[in-house]
Amino acid sequence: MTLLQVMGCASSKKSSLKDLAKVAEIKPLDAIIVPGVPFNNGSWDSVMKGRVLWSYILYKDGYTKNVIYSGSAVYSAYYEGIIMGLYAEQLGIPRAHIFYETRARHSTENVYYSYLIAQKQGFKSIGLASDPFQSSLLRSFTRKRFESRIWHLPMVMDSLAIYNHLNPEIDPKAAVADSFTSITQKESLWKRLRGTMGKDINWKQYKNGKVPPL
């Protein structure tokens, strides 16, 4: 690891701890949003594991009352949100506190559609729980497009390491989509990039292009 990488890791940890401290002052949030990751080869990969474990830590430590797992069947035939929720339940998050969002195909849509679920459920405070890189990419989006604040809770890697030995088993059949075609076959690269930037969402339906408060 280079000095630049070490400095980057240290900076990321410092930023994550700072965000966590802010939420600690007002916890618990009503819900956190966890963006999806493709489920391939019958097992979670390191990215999905990190996000699910982080959501479990935040729930266990009282930072949130509920968790919204978000993600459609985008690159594989499994609903990403449901797969993550199945793992979370095995880790110990009660089913009653797990919510599923299965429309989102991009990270911006993970936030948008989960925000709508939070509105429907009457939640008044929500956060985004993901890896530091994705959290950083979405900061401008969460500020620009939503009237209510979306708190950011990027992973603290030291905390994740404590629970990395956990490897629950799930039956993924419950998460299989009835019909599936990979997004790479349905949409061009340019179309997918536009979706990633939130261009597939009709912002004109909202005053000033911002979703109303929770």
Instruction: pLDDT band for 11, please (50, 70, 90 cuts).
Output: low
* Cα separation, 88 vs 55, whole angstroms: 8
Structural domain spans, the chain? 14-149+172-209
Sign of CA dihedral 28, 129, 80, 124: positive
Task: Of 96, 103, 141, give the one whose Cα is nearest residue 121.
Answer: 96
| Residue-wise pLDDT tens digits, 138-196 | 999 999 999 999 999 999 988 899 999 999 999 999 999 999 999 999 999 999 999 99
Nearest to 87 by CA among 59, 112, 119: 59
CA dihedral of 176, 182, 183, 188, whole degrees rounded to 10: -170
| CATH, domain 14-149+172-209, list 3.40.50.620, 3.40.50.1000, 3.40.50.150, 3.40.50.880 | 3.40.50.620
* Threshold 0.85, pTM exceeds: yes
Joined tokens for residue 211: 């979703």
How far apart are the two ends of the chain, measured CA to CA in Å? 43
